[in-house]
Amino acid sequence: MKKTVSFSRNSVNVFFHILTRCNLQCRHCYINPDQHGDATVSVETAIAWLKRFHHPDKKSNLILLGGEPTLHPDLDRIVRAAREIGYASLTIDTNGYLFHDILDKVTPAEVDYFSFSLDGATDGTNDRIRGRGSFERCTAGIRAAVEKGFAASLIYTVSRENLHELTRMVPLLKQLGVSRFFIQVIGIRGRSARSGGDALQLTRAEWEAHVPPVAREVAAAGITVTYPKVFLEAGDRFECAGNVADNYFIFPNGRVYRCPLCEDFPLHSMTIDSAGALSPTGKINESDLFALMIPEGCVINKLVQAGNLAYTDDGSPAYRIACCLLKEEIPGAV
């Protein structure tokens, strides 16, 4: 049964980019070195920042990402430090190359999920987007992780380039032993904003014709599926996570965002220094925008990726766009 996962007031989600460097150059990569630099966070700084964002009274969830986080030579030390600090769940997002023998340096008790990114069910489609050889390396990485007893999830960023292969993911996920599937919508930031990514955005009709039906198929195969709500129905309430939830997107240059759609701009609402001291930024920052109510729903969506909007003949929006952090979830059938 599908359910909308509304924002939790009782948890803190920390998305920690420990570096921005990557071995791949995916066409839709959202990392923007002009905004986020090329630094790597040292273990000492990582620990100070992890302590700063851990909340003693709420469930604190940590997602370690990059760039490619396994390029960090001390990723295992950061994982252990996070567990000692008390993070309740820990996920490592990876392109699957799994550098520095990371599978041998951490354990399934320390890492809840290795979350792999694949953008096609075949090497032809995936490698066109993510680079030659990446399909083979990523699927080999998933197999190696599962064999060692880690739980593997998979993120598929859906766009006009790979929508046709979404349905072919169902048997592949089973074959690879993936236990959670995330369908993500292409974001128009980083490289995709600079290279005509808006032409790759799906219309509402395309989204509805493909994404929920495939999600149901995947769930029927026993794999839990999560995908963004994107298009609100007439009676749905619009809510901005920036106003109500504890989500922090932290970059190695100390920028801390509350909204991932703002990451292409110096709109971060806080900065953090190497000792872990957090300071609010001046106006105008993302928090000033969270308060704006517009008939199209999410205000930042309208500013940075309006290609998913449509209007009726009288000029009013045909529908509203949900917060990008609002998700639908279908548990895998047992």
Nearer to ligand SF4, 163 or 299 (CB): 299
Can you say how many angstroms the Cα of residue 34 is from the centroid of all Cα atoms in its chain?
A: 20
139 three-class SS: helix
Nearer to ligand SF4, 121 or 325 (CB): 325
Nearer to ligand SF4, 116 or 150 (CB): 116
Dihedral of alpha carbons 237, 240, 246, 250, sign: positive
Dihedral of alpha carbons 275, 280, 283, 289, sign: positive
Rounded to 10 degrees, the C-alpha dihedral 60/65/66/71 comes to 120
Nearer to ligand SF4, 151 or 155 (CB): 155
Shortest reach from residue 231's CB to ligand SF4, in Å: 14
Contact residues toward ligand SF4 (CB under 6 A) are 22, 24-26, 29, 31, 66-68, 95, 117, 130, 240-242, 259, 261, 290, 298-301, 323-325
Q: Are 40 and 73 in contact (CB under 8 A)?
A: no
Nearer to ligand SF4, 13 or 219 (CB): 13
Shortest reach from residue 158's CB to ligand SF4, in Å: 14
Shortest reach from residue 195's CB to ligand SF4, in Å: 13
Q: Six-digit token pair at 101?
A: 């023998």
CA geometry: angle 255, 261, 265, nearest 5 deg: 50
Nearer to ligand SF4, 107 or 226 (CB): 226
Shortest reach from residue 219's CB to ligand SF4, in Å: 25
Shortest reach from residue 84's CB to ligand SF4, in Å: 27
Nearer to ligand SF4, 96 or 219 (CB): 96
Distance CA 309, CA 195 (A): 20
Shortest reach from residue 29's CB to ligand SF4, in Å: 3
Burial 238-269 (b: 16+ CB within 10 A, else e): bbbbbeebbbbbbbbbbbbbbbbbbbbbebbb
If one counts every other C-beta atom within 10 angstroms of the C-beta of residue 127, the result is 18
Rounded to 10 degrees, the C-alpha dihedral 95/97/101/106 comes to 20
Shortest reach from residue 286's CB to ligand SF4, in Å: 7
